[in-house]
Amino acid sequence: GIQVEQSPPDLILQEGANSTLRCNFSDSVNNLQWFHQNPWGQLINLFYIPSGTKQNGRLSATTVATERYSLLYISSSQTTDSGVYFCAVDTNRLAFGKGNQVVVIP
């Protein structure tokens, strides 16, 4: 099956810092989604982004489908950004990466 790799696996940020999370995938996909799992376990979808760039507040995402990667940018990080960020790619069904564990310290 398709392989989804996320990097870095763990990231500690000072509040206010910027960061970039990366998702590489091994085959062509129909679409790609980014999710945030908060420390209480709730999964929230952030972006549905098969290609191009989207922005939502301090978060933005870019997917370059031809090169099989996607990037999630977090700007001016806040403690509420802590949690795990998952990339999931859709061939006929979603395949998840192992996630980026992000901790934002005040």
Partner 1 sequence: NAGVTQTPKFRILKIGQSMTLQCTQDMNHNYMYWYRQDPGMGLKLIYYSVGAGITDKGEVPNGYNVSRSTTEDFPLRLELAAPSQTSVYFCASSPGGTQYFGPGTRLLVL
**Is 1 among the residues that bind partner 1 (CB under 8 A)?**
yes
Token pair of 20, please? 């970039």
Q: Is the bond preceding residue 8 a cis peptide, omega within 30 degrees?
A: yes
β-bridge pairing 31-37 and 83-90: antiparallel
CA dist 3 and 47 (Å) reads 20
The residue among 83 and 99 lying less far from partner 1, judged by its C-beta, is 99
From 86, 89, 102, 104, residue interacting with partner 1 (rule: CB under 8 A) = 86
The residue among 10 and 15 lying less far from partner 1, judged by its C-beta, is 10
The residue among 51 and 96 lying less far from partner 1, judged by its C-beta, is 96
Handedness of CA 57, 22, 81, 92 (dihedral sign): positive
Instruction: State the number of binding residues for partner 1 (CB under 8 A).
Output: 20
From 11, 13, 21, 88, residue interacting with partner 1 (rule: CB under 8 A) = 88
β-bridge pairing 59-64 and 10-14: unpaired
> In the range 15-54, which residues lie near partner 1 by CB under 8 A?
31, 33, 35, 41-45, 48
**Is 97 among the residues that bind partner 1 (CB under 8 A)?**
yes
